[in-house]
Amino acid sequence: MRKQFTLSFLLITGLLLASASGWAHHGQGLSFATDHMWTTWATVEQFHYINPHPAIEFSRVDKNGKVEHWSAECGNNPSRMARDGWTKTRSLALLKPGTKVKLYVGTSLAGGFNGIVNRIENEKGEAIVETGEVRNAVDMEGVPSGYQPTAEDKAKAAKASSIDIYDKDQK
Amino acid sequence: MTNNNCLMRLSQRALQALAVIGVVLFMMPQISQAQRGEGPPQPGVGNSDKDKSPYNKHDFNGFWVRNPEAQYNQPPCSECRDTGPSYGYFGDVPPMTPEGEKRFRQNKPTKGYTVGSPEAERNKNIHIAYRRAVQAALSNDPEERCEPLGLIRLVTFSGGNPPMHIVQTDEIIVERFEWFWDNREIWTDGRKLPVVDDYGPRFNGYSVGKWEGDTLVVTTVGLDDRQWVDAFGFPISDKAVLEERYSRPSPNRLRLEMTLTDPVTYTRPWKSTPKVWGKVPKEAMKIGGWAGLVEDRCNPAENSFFRSFEPPAPGQKKEE
């Protein structure tokens, strides 16, 4: 019993600690509208198990019946995914073209049908791939184009690109 | 044991578990804060290795990681982790020379706190290098283009998730790095450092090592100046000399302290924060029945495909 308790505790603690990292990943916050994560059901067109990060091409249907074709990156690199149990064999088997999945998406700040996918769930609600923050994701099932960045979102990236940090801040 | 007793015992266990999880949840902000470099744990401080087995302090063979508990089911190593943001050289950054400053400003990293972000604002006390990350489309980080990372970056990054494999013989130590599938050699056969200009600088330089007691002291020259010191865009010149001091303080710990002397770029020698790795048995690294490093090579063709999903910078047109 004690061993079971210890194991459960270590597992839960490990998962919590693993999720605590908040370090920037490739300037992610400036590339994608990660402040406005959203969810949608989608159909896998292709899952690419590639370096430095896997990528997924998927389609979704809006409430008017129009099909949108999206492409997105997923956060972790293949070696880390494999060591977490998501080998190429397993990932590709579970994400075959035609598979229905629920995706947690951050749209590219440039707009359009590019983005980052931080979580992929199967129809049972189980996480197949989870690589980033998904809290506060908003259900946008059927909403045409999902979440598209506002002028304010785009201004955030533009402003950050133009900040002269050196003259006033250099230590 | 009666059913009631059993239930009571189970409730007690559940309460115990909830209490401990509550403590962990309560500590999350502090843990997160520590990872951001605002508090403990301190990298390189203390030794969490409980293994008291006899071992050879001059034997560095094996697989070494800086996050042994995360993916390899090894005992945790709090002193192994850099406090962040991300992995790097760290330490007290010296003032740069005018040449160093000019090159530093030209380098646009993607790692660290995003420029203009609330995290960058909250961490204004740290060096500007760690709070100036830009989106990939605006960066000139060699890593983003699969160009060689360079020695210090390979060593300091290795082990965060991708491990470092050390192969040691009587005359050479080879460090193999999973990320970028690169390697560096440390000759311990008594040779002298070369005349660098006769062949030219190399991304991983020329290294010789000698033992001082139980510490392996490695001197490296001839580092190609296209590399960055670490992910934060610190420049380096080909006149730099790097001293690395490796030791194995316990069976499952490898420790490194570095000093970079580069008068072209920095106004005084720069000591890194200590870097500590935990040892991982190769069996714990198995993928598909194959134990060892995986080829985590940055393949330009794959990288280019991946980058096609990345958004352009504001005002930048995306190639069709």
DSSP result, A80-111: HHHHTT--HHHHHHHT-TT-EEEEEEEEBTT-
> Which pLDDT band, with edges at 50, 70 and 90, does A79 fall under?
confident
Indicate the number of domains in chain A.
1
Please give the pLDDT value at position B315: 59
pLDDT at A59 over 70: yes
Instruction: Please give the C-alpha separations between residue B112 and each of B48, B109, B280, in angstroms, as whole numbers.
Output: 27, 8, 28
Q: Which CATH number do you get for residue A100? A: 2.40.50.140
**Greater pLDDT, B298 or A37:** A37
CA-atom Rg of chain B in angstroms: 22
pLDDT above 70 covers a percentage of chain B that reads 83
Residue A2, pLDDT score: 44
Contact B134 A154 (CB under 8 A): no
Does a structural domain hold residue A9? no
| Residue of A53, A83, A154 lying closest to B306 (CB–CB) | A53
Using the beta-carbon criterion (under 8 Å), do A5 and B124 form an inter-chain contact?
no
Across the range A117-128, mean pLDDT stands at 91
Question: Region B209-226: what's the mean pLDDT?
Answer: 98
Rounded to an integer, the average pLDDT of B138-157 is 92
Q: Which amino acid is at B131?
A: R
Chain B residues lying within 8 Å of A169, measured CB to CB:
124, 128
Q: Which amino acid is at B80?
A: C
Contact assessment for residue B46 and residue B255, using Cβ atoms and an 8 Å cutoff:
no
Whether A5 maps to a domain, the answer reads: no
In the stretch 59-98 of chain B, residues with CB closer than 8 A to chain A read 69-72, 84-86
Residue A25's pLDDT is 52
pTM over 0.95: no
For residue A14, the chain B residues in CB contact (below 8 A) are: 69-70
In a domain, A17, yes or no: no
Decide if pLDDT at A130 tops 90: no
Q: What is the pLDDT of residue B42?
A: 67
Q: Is residue A18 included in any domain, yes or no?
A: no
Q: Which has the closest alpha carbon to B271: B288, B249, B256, B291? A: B256
CB contact under 8 A, A22 and B306: no
Burial B47-71, CB ≥16 within 10 A → b, else e? ebbeeeeeeeeeebebbbbbbbbbb
pLDDT tens per residue across span B113-135: 888 888 888 999 999 999 999 88
Cβ contact, residue pair A79, B115, below 8 Å: no
Mutate which: B114, B122, B143, vs A, most A CBs within 10 A: B114
Q: Are A94 and A129 in contact (CB under 8 A)?
A: no
For residue B233, what pLDDT band results from cuts at 50, 70 and 90? very high
Instruction: Please tell me if residue B26 touches chain A, with a CB cutoff of 8 Å.
Output: no
Mean pLDDT of B247-275: 97
Task: With respect to residue A125, please indicate whether it lies within any of the assigned structural domains.
Answer: yes
By three-state DSSP, how is residue B249 classified?
strand
CA B185 to centroid of chain Cα atoms: 18
**Segment holding B10, helix H or strand E:** helix B3-35
On whether residue A67 sits in a domain, the answer given is yes
Residues of B in contact with A166 (CB under 8 A): 105, 128
Residue A169 falls inside a structural domain: no
Which residues 300-319 of chain B have a CB within 8 Å of chain A? 302-303, 305-306, 308-315, 318
Q: What residues contact A2, with CB distance under 8 A and at least 6 apart?
A: none
In a domain, residue A129? The reply is: yes
Q: Which of A12, A20, A169 sits opposite B32 (nearest CB)?
A: A20
What is the domain extent for residue A138?
28-144
Inter-chain residue contact B21 with A32, CB threshold 8 Å? no
Q: Could you tell me which of A51, A121, A123 has the C-alpha nearest to residue A81?
A: A51
pLDDT at B215 over 70: yes
- Between CA B223 and CA B192, with CA B159 as vertex, the angle to 5 degrees is 35
